[in-house]
Amino acid sequence: MTMKNKVVVITGASSGIGEATAKRLAKDGAKVVLGARREDKLARITREIEAAGGQAVYQVCDVTVLADNQALVALAQARFGGLDVLFLNAGLMPNSPLSALKTDEWAAMVDVNLKGVLNGIAAALPIFTSQRHGQFIVTSSVAGLKAYPGGAVYGATKFAVKDLMEVLRMESAQEGTNIRTATIYPAAVRSELLTTITDKQVAAGMGELYDQYQIAPERVANVVAFAIDQPADTNVSEFTIGPTTQPW
């Protein structure tokens, strides 16, 4: 396996897809660096990984702050001697109709879902460029592939990272820096995303959908591991992940 001893930084690592991915990659021999805003959860996950024989460190990180992203990358270099993969997983989904004018929530989604990704790229890209290898993986959403009412701003941020990752891959190929990218489009996955929805009608509808269709975050972690574990000369760009029973 190519996973063993790879240094992987994960944002949004305190729950859901981030937590499941950290545990899966550590089990496979990667050295994981966890970043999120909730220190108590990061500390617990790190202890659990270490107890299972894995290697992990953590640092509190707000992805909307460039310096926090840079500090997380620096921690990877200081503790594990380098950086191979940055999994940009932090995200918010406070969906609502545009007519509700929840502009503060719009701004929060842009800051975390898009600017947070850009901050991560800014922190790691110089390292990847210098060493002439590296991989960015980002959690988008099926909302980054198809539009639906109530998800305009969330979807816009997730459509944006699709383009961002593809252009990043193309530019790296032109520049000969060998940087790989992968974009993941999960459907309903068990996580804390629904807790950010303040619109009662939208929250009720999304709750019913997730109750019927959601799959475990470990399913996404498996795909992240697959993307990382490909040979250095192979890029796997996009994955749509959802429940087999979902009819739309």
Residues designated as active site: 154
Q: Where are the domains of the chain?
A: 7-241
189-221 pLDDT, tens digit each: 887 777 888 888 888 888 877 878 888 999 999
Say what the pLDDT of residue 39 is. 96
CB neighbour list of residue 18: distance below 8 Å, 6 or more residues apart:
10, 11, 12, 34, 36, 87, 89, 90
Task: Quote the pTM value.
Answer: 0.94
Q: Average of pLDDT values for 118-129?
A: 98
Mean pLDDT (whole number) for 131-137? 98
pLDDT higher than 70, residue 246: yes
Pair of tokens at residue 18: 């981030």
33: left (phi over 0), alpha (psi -120 to 50) or beta: beta
Helix, strand or coil, per DSSP, at residue 243: coil
User: What average pLDDT does this structure show over 38-59?
Assistant: 97
Q: What is the pLDDT of residue 1?
A: 52
pLDDT average, residue stretch 97-103 = 96
Mean pLDDT of 98-113: 97
Asked whether residue 18 carries a pLDDT value surpassing 80, the answer given is yes
Torsion of CA 37, 201, 219, 46, to 10 degrees: 20
Task: Spell out the residues 6+ positions from residue 231 whose beta carbon is closer than 8 angstroms to its own.
Answer: 2
Count the Cβ atoms, other than its own, within 10 Å of residue 247.
5
Which residue would you say has higher pLDDT here, 115 or 207? 115
- As a whole number, mean pLDDT of residues 78-99 equals 96
Find out if CATH 3.40.50.880 is the number for domain 7-241.
no
Q: Can you tell me which residue has the tokens 């429940």? A: 243
| pLDDT beyond 90 at 224 | yes
Q: In what order do the strands lie in the sheet with 134-139?
A: 55-60, 31-36, 7-11, 85-88, 134-139, 179-186, 238-241
Tell me what the pLDDT averaged over the chain comes to: 94
